[in-house]
Amino acid sequence: MRYVIAASLLGLLAGCSATDSSSEVSSHATGTSAKESSLADLKRFPPRYPKQQAIYGREGCATIEYVVGTDREVTAVEVVSATNKDFAREASKVVSRWKWQSVSETAFQAPLKFQTRFEFCLENGNGNCGDSVLATKDQCTGNDVIAVVGRRFKFP
């Protein structure tokens, strides 16, 4: 009986001493815009439109969550939601290529977590890929929207 009680107490103490690593990352910008004033110097650009999706006339979205460390390196890139794996892949790749080094060091006192929604749209000449139109779409979550505008391939 003493061994059971001792083992239980030991397990309880071990559980209490565990730390929550999620507190080390500030969710400063999750669900908000990475375009805020402290990140004004960030050079963001859209990913390429997946060729296969453009050929078939497919549009969609991908929401990506990622952490930028104090060294301004991107880690922990995760797909939150996506309508297509090709859109998710291209969106995941581009966040690491953004010019995080151009952002002031004071913006990164701690690792920051961001969430960005990429709207993949094929332009038809009628303004269907405008920022105001894309912001109203709700297939993927997120308020920080990057437009990825493509053109449909036409074969002769």
Cα 79-83-85 angle, rounded to 5 deg:
60
The answer to whether 21 and 48 have CB atoms below 8 angstroms apart is: no
The answer to whether 113 and 25 have CB atoms below 8 angstroms apart is: yes
**Predicted pLDDT of residue 47:** 95
Q: Residue 10 domain-assigned?
A: no
Q: Residue 116 domain-assigned?
A: yes
- CA nearest to 47, candidates 115, 128, 116: 116
**Predicted pLDDT of residue 4:** 38
Q: Residue 14 domain-assigned?
A: no
What pTM, to 2 d.p., does this model score? 0.73
Please give the residue range of the domain that contains residue 114.
25-150
**The token pair that represents 9 in the structure block:** 């107490």
Q: Residue 63 domain-assigned?
A: yes
**Predicted pLDDT of residue 156:** 58
Number of independent structural domains in the chain: 1
**Predicted pLDDT of residue 107:** 78
5-63 pLDDT tens trace = 444 433 433 443 333 444 455 554 443 355 555 677 788 899 999 999 998 999 999 99
Integer Cα distance of 68 and 63 in angstroms: 16
Q: Residue 66 domain-assigned?
A: yes
Q: Residue 123 domain-assigned?
A: yes
Residue 15 exposed, middle or buried by CB count within 10 Å (0-12, 13-18, 19+): exposed
Name residues whose C-beta falls within 8 Å of residue 55's C-beta, 6 or more positions apart in sequence. Answer: 152, 153
Q: Residue 20 domain-assigned?
A: no
In CATH, what number is assigned to the domain containing residue 111? 3.30.2420.10
80-104 pLDDT tens trace = 999 999 999 999 999 989 988 888 8
Name residues whose C-beta falls within 8 Å of residue 114's C-beta, 6 or more positions apart in sequence. Answer: 28, 29, 30, 34, 65, 66, 67, 68, 95, 144
Q: Residue 6 domain-assigned?
A: no
